[in-house]
């Protein structure tokens, strides 16, 4: 296999790129050697050199514990549990959560053979037992696997004496009822709230 | 900007990846440090170290002249002119062309300010003037810019005394007439051929 073929094969393993788009990406890199291929190589090196996984929460950062875990202004009483670092970034972008996080690194999946020991759960149980922690918000995805994972964690946290909550389900902001799936609509109806006047 | 943000920004410049999928790709790389991020960094380094542009035909290869230009078994009498190296790969995959290539590196575009001097055309004219060359096949894309480029090159090659041809236009193999655009259908009808019995 040539170097270019090897590059294409590796690019094709990125989510969102198939064999065809990996070929196009490789050619684009070869066309933009100075302005893209060089800087990208350096960025990858920099990231593998500097970025590590936070030993407390599973976030990625150049620091360990990460910037969020070591930020004294963030409420240590609330831990929001997420599947992936991408979910953490999504919540951080909203700017509406000021507690700490815990990244599981995936979800339980019988099909893929992913059990509790493969996820960052033991550390979460340990953290939840600390006196400072009052609430754990389970914000795993609303997929079957995500919800199974949330149920499992809720069980594990029962003994820790913390309040366990989950995100509200309902109509997304800007969502049109006509386009919503039945599950979301049913959940939104069941969780209806009094209109404040 | 952090190292991870910089990596995401660079990944987003690859064709086929937007800001959102670049984020997912970066997270995937961080999750697969040993098995993907490391090998990808090495592959990029290897490619920038070893791969160069062929000074004869514009192909990319570890050799200069490239493997095709220096392959004595390939017919030096026929040169197939293409816009990009990806087009060359596509033709090579068919295994049905045994001549040489010439990669222009793009197409003429008034809109993007790309003139003849920005493309690998002067070298093509020079090659076409060699006595060994009998035919130049213009296989630029069937877009307006691609066809403008082909017309321009045909003009430039007039004095070289070579036969200038283009790929046949028509119904793609496996194509259903009902789904074809009018231009293709018109071209296919005009270029109709007698059925051999």
pLDDT tens by residue, B1-27: 789 999 999 999 999 899 999 999 999
The answer as to whether A2 is a domain residue is no
Same domain, B120 and B185: no
The answer as to whether B89 is a domain residue is yes
Structural domain total, chain A: 2
Same domain, A129 and A144: yes
The shortest C-alpha distance from B55 to chain A (Å) reads 15
Same domain, B157 and B186: no
- Predicted confidence at residue B197, as pLDDT, reads 64
The shortest C-alpha distance from A118 to chain B (Å) reads 14
pLDDT tens by residue, B71-112: 999 999 999 999 999 999 988 988 889 999 999 999 999 999
Partner A contacted by B15 (CB < 8 A): yes
The answer as to whether B55 is a domain residue is no
- Predicted confidence at residue A131, as pLDDT, reads 93
Q: Do A44 and B36 touch (CB under 8 A)?
A: no
Could you give the angle at which helices B19-31 and A85-94 cross, rounded to 10 degrees? 140
Burial of B104-142, coded b for 16+ CB within 10 Å and e otherwise, reads: bbbbbbeeeebeeeebbbeebeebbeeeebeebbbbbee
On whether the CB atoms of residues A88 and A97 are closer than 8 A, the answer is no
A36-40, A147-151, A175-179, B88-92: least confident range: A175-179
- Dihedral pair phi/psi, residue A142, rounded to 5°: -85, 40
Helix (H) or strand (E) holding B23: helix B19-31
Name the band, by pLDDT with cuts 50, 70 and 90, for residue A44: very high
pLDDT tens by residue, A67-122: 999 999 999 999 999 999 999 998 898 888 999 999 999 999 999 999 999 999 99
Same domain, A98 and A156: yes
Sign of CA dihedral B25, B30, B33, B38: positive
Q: Identify the residue among B6, B17, B28, B44 best suited for mutation to test binding to A, counting A beta carbons within 10 A and taking the highest.
A: B44
Q: Which residue has the higher pLDDT, B149 or A170?
A: B149
Same domain, A95 and A156: yes
Same domain, B149 and B175: no
Name the band, by pLDDT with cuts 50, 70 and 90, for residue A190: confident
The answer as to whether B113 is a domain residue is yes
The answer as to whether B10 is a domain residue is no
DSSP-based three-state secondary structure for A47: helix
Partner B contacted by A114 (CB < 8 A): no
Same domain, A82 and A162: yes
Partner A contacted by B118 (CB < 8 A): no
Partner B contacted by A56 (CB < 8 A): no
Residue B126: give its domain's CATH number: 3.40.1360.10
Q: Do A36 and B10 touch (CB under 8 A)?
A: yes
The answer as to whether A49 is a domain residue is no
How much of chain A exceeds pLDDT 70, in percent?
99
- State mean pLDDT over A161-170: 89
Give the Cα separation of A101 and A83 in Å (integer): 11
Q: Do A14 and B2 touch (CB under 8 A)?
A: no
pLDDT tens by residue, B161-185: 899 998 888 888 887 878 878 888 8
Phi-psi region of A101 (alpha: psi -120 to 50; beta: other; left: phi over 0): beta
Q: Do B44 and A60 touch (CB under 8 A)?
A: no
The answer as to whether B181 is a domain residue is yes
Same domain, A90 and A150: yes
- Predicted confidence at residue B121, as pLDDT, reads 96
On whether the CB atoms of residues B144 and B109 are closer than 8 A, the answer is no
Same domain, A153 and A120: yes
DSSP-based three-state secondary structure for B80: strand
On whether the CB atoms of residues B46 and A1 are closer than 8 A, the answer is no
Between B6, B25, B60, which is nearest A30 by CB? B60
Q: Which residue has the higher pLDDT, A186 or A48?
A: A48
Q: Do B25 and A10 touch (CB under 8 A)?
A: no
Same domain, A98 and A177: no
Instruction: Give the pairing of strands A60-61 and A52-53.
Output: antiparallel
Same domain, B157 and B79: yes
Domain that holds residue B182: 171-197
Same domain, B178 and B160: no
Between the alpha carbon of residue B130 and those of residues B79, B95, B154, B178, B191, the distances in Å are 12, 26, 16, 46, 32
Q: Where are the beta strands (DSSP E) in chain B?
A: 52-53, 60-61, 75-82, 99-103, 135-138, 163-166
Instruction: Give the pairing of strands B60-61 and A99-103.
Output: unpaired
Burial of A27-54, coded b for 16+ CB within 10 Å and e otherwise, reads: bbbbbeeeebbbbbbbbbbbbbeebbbb
The answer as to whether A105 is a domain residue is yes
Between B30, B43, B89, which is nearest A10 by CB? B43
Partner B contacted by A90 (CB < 8 A): no
The shortest C-alpha distance from B139 to chain A (Å) reads 19
- Predicted confidence at residue A197, as pLDDT, reads 64
Mean pLDDT of chain B: 91
**A&B contacts, CB < 8 Å:** 127
- State mean pLDDT over A40-47: 96
Q: Which two tokens stand for residue B8?
A: 């995401």
What pTM did the predictor assign?
A: 0.78
Partner A contacted by B85 (CB < 8 A): yes
Look at residues B91, B102, B83 and name the one whose alpha carbon lies nearest to residue B149: B83
On whether the CB atoms of residues B106 and B119 are closer than 8 A, the answer is yes
How much of chain B exceeds pLDDT 90, in percent?
74
Partners of B52 on chain A (C-beta within 8 Å) are none
């Amino acid at each position: 296999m040539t170097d270019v073929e090897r590059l294409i094969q590796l690019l094709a393993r990125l989510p969102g790129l198939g064999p065809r788009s990996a070929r196009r990406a490789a050619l684009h890199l070869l066309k933009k050697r100075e302005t893209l291929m060089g800087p990208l190589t350096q960025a990858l090196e920099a990231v593998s050199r500097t970025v590590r996984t936070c030993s407390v929460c599973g976030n990625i950062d150049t620091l360990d514990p990460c910037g969020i875990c070591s930020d004294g202004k963030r409420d240590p009483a609330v831990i929001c549990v997420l599947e992936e670092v991408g979910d953490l970034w999504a919540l951080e972008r909203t700017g509406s959560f000021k507690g700490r996080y815990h990244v599981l690194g995936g979800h339980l999946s019988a099909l893929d053979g992913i059990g509790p020991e493969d996820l960052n759960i033991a550390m979460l149980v340990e953290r939840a037992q600390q006196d400072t922690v009052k609430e754990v918000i389970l914000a795993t995805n609303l997929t079957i696997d995500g919800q199974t994972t949330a149920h499992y964690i809720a069980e594990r946290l029962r003994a820790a004496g913390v309040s366990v909550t989950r995100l509200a389900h309902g109509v997304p902001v800007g969502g049109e009822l006509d386009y919503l799936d039945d599950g979301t609509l049913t959940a939104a109806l069941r969780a209806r709230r009094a209109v404040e006047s």
